[in-house]
């Protein structure tokens, strides 16, 4: 089985110093680290690897970003690849994912792509979803743990308020792992020294069959789904015409009414439309831009 892990290098938040007057970041004091969620993804990928499997680490970034790939090599990744268009300074998540997805395609599609769930810097969490979109694969986000059985990935996801959910997904798939789920192993000395000396493979746009124009697509519109501003809760006022015991019963039952759920049926498009309509109606999502 071939596993690909997407890594990113970002400024260590502890070393980011902001001038209180100008708001400028003092870049000379900034150190760069491997994104913690990516480190967890890398560790889980390495744990999954058995004989005959291979793990490839990819990153999108300038020459300095090689460091995360060297870190990956040191802990035992088989292949590494850096993707970058010289002259660029940053990439938006959509561009990063396009580059990653294209590189995965040209280098031979893996069976499984593992990413960090979100970066500490931008933190949009879009990259795994975009990669899945470009590859037309399923994506599972917020993963705490996963294992393989019979060509399917069993996973456990983190839900809000401490809840967990478990499920299965068929390969190939994109998995987005939460930060802190697995501490990255400590590199052995031979690996570390080898990694330091390794030449890191590098792909530019033409080698990926892309032109700079391909990266200039109009900015995507993301609809953020956030809990709406809490509306004042209506106080239940019992009907004053009723006898006291019934009013008490009414008060007692008022808070425990069952939450009503609705299951939508139909084709995927219809279901998506129904969900979107519901979210808009209840104020979770602003109307279409």
Partner 1 sequence: MTATNGSEHFDVIVVGAGPAGSAAALLAARAGLKVILIERGEYPGAKNVSGAVFYGSTILNQLIPEWWEQAPVERHVCRRELVLMSPTTSVSLDFRSAAEGYVRPPYNGFTVLRPKFDRWFADQAEAAGAFLLTSTVVDDLLWDGPQVVGVKTRRDDGDIRGDVVIACDGVNSWLARKAGLQRELRTHELSLGVKEVIGLDESLIRQRFQLAGDEGMALEYVGAVTEAVHGGAFLYTNRNSLSLGVLAQLSSLVEHKKRPYDLLETFKAHPAVAPLVRGGTLREYSAHLIPESGWNMMPALFADGLMVAGDAAAFCLATGIYIEGINYAMQSGLAAAEAAILACRRKEFSRYTLSHYMEALRQRNVLTDFQAYRHAPGFVNGERLQNLYPQLAALGGEALFRVDGNRKQKLLPLYWRTLRQVGAKPRHVLQDLYQVARAYLW
CB contact at 8 A, 144 and 164? yes
Token pair belonging to 36:
């913690």
Shortest gap between Cβ of 76 and partner 1 (angstroms)? Answer: 11
Q: Which of 64, 149, 151, 186 binds partner 1 (CB under 8 A)?
A: 186
Token pair belonging to 242:
């009723």
Q: Is 192 in the site for partner 1 (CB under 8 A)?
A: yes
User: How many other CB atoms are found less than 10 A from the CB of residue 8?
Assistant: 23
Q: Which of 123, 188, 228, 283 binds partner 1 (CB under 8 A)?
A: 188
Shortest gap between Cβ of 78 and partner 1 (angstroms)? Answer: 12
CB contact at 8 A, 60 and 91? yes
Q: How far apart are CA 194 and CA 244, in angstroms?
A: 82
Q: Tell me the β-bridge partners of 78.
A: none
Q: Which span sits near partner 1 by CB under 8 A: 45-53, 56-64, 134-142, 180-188?
A: 180-188
Looking only at the bridges linking them, the beta strands covering 9-11 and 32-34 are antiparallel
Query: 88 Cβ partners below 8 Å, 6+ apart?
Result: 62
Angle at 80 between CA 65 and CA 35, to 5 degrees: 45
- x/- mask, partner 1, residues 13-52, rule CB under 8 A, reads ---------------x--x---------------------
Q: Which of 22, 86, 160, 197 binds partner 1 (CB under 8 A)?
A: 197
Query: 247 Cβ partners below 8 Å, 6+ apart?
Result: 238, 239, 240
Q: Which of 100, 187, 205, 285 binds partner 1 (CB under 8 A)?
A: 187
Q: Which span sits near partner 1 by CB under 8 A: 152-160, 183-191, 216-224, 256-264?
A: 183-191
Q: Is 257 in the site for partner 1 (CB under 8 A)?
A: no
Task: Identify which of 127, 170, 120, 181 has the alpha carbon closest to the alpha carbon of residue 5.
Answer: 127
Q: Is 193 in the site for partner 1 (CB under 8 A)?
A: yes
Shortest gap between Cβ of 40 and partner 1 (angstroms)? Answer: 19
| Residues near partner 1 (CB under 8 A), total | 14
Shortest gap between Cβ of 38 and partner 1 (angstroms)? Answer: 18
CA atoms within 13 A on the CB side of 271: 7
Task: Identify which of 36, 48, 64, 35 has the alpha carbon closest to the alpha carbon of residue 4.
Answer: 48
For partner 1, the closer CB: 14 or 234: 14
Q: Is 266 in the site for partner 1 (CB under 8 A)?
A: no
Shortest gap between Cβ of 29 and partner 1 (angstroms)? Answer: 9
Q: Considering only residues 198 through 237, tell me which ones interact with partner 1, judged by CB under 8 A.
A: 198-199
Rounded to the nearest angstrom, the gap between the alpha carbon of residue 180 and the centroid of all alpha carbons in its chain is 14
Q: Is 189 in the site for partner 1 (CB under 8 A)?
A: yes
Which residues contact partner 1 (rule: CB under 8 A)?
Answer: 28, 31, 186-190, 192-194, 196-199
């Amino acid at each position: 089985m071939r596993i690909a892990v997407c890594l990113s290098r970002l400024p260590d938040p502890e070393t980011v110093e902001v001038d209180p007057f100008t708001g400028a970041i003092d870049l000379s004091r900034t150190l760069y680290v491997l994104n913690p969620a990516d480190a967890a993804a890398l560790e889980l990928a390495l744990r999954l690897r058995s004989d005959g499997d291979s793990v490839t680490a990819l990153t999108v970034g300038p020459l300095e970003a090689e460091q995360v790939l060297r870190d990956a090599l040191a802990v035992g990744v088989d292949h590494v690849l850096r993707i970058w268009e010289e002259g660029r300074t940053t990439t938006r998540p959509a561009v990063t994912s396009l580059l990653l997805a294209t590189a995965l395609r040209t280098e031979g599609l893996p069976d499984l792509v593992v990413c960090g769930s979100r970066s500490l810097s931008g933190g949009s969490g879009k990259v795994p979803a975009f990669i899945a979109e470009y590859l037309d694969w399923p994506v599972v986000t917020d993963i705490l743990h996963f294992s393989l059985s019979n060509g399917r990935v069993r996973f456990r996801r983190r839900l809000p308020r401490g809840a967990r959910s478990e499920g299965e997904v068929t390969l190939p798939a994109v998995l987005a792992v939460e930060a802190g789920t697995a501490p990255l192993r400590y590199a052995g000395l031979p690996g570390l020294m080898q990694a330091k000396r390794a030449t890191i493979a590098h792909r530019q746009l033409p080698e990926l069959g892309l032109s700079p124009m391909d990266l200039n697509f109009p900015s995507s519109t993301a609809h953020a789904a956030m809990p709406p501003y809490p509306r004042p809760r209506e106080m239940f006022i019992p009907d004053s015409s009723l006898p006291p015991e019934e009013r008490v019963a009414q008060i007692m039952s008022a808070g425990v009414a069952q939450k009503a759920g609705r299951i939508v049926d139909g084709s995927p498009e219809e279901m998506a439309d129904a969900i979107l309509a519901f979210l808009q109606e209840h104020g979770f999502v602003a109307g279409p831009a």
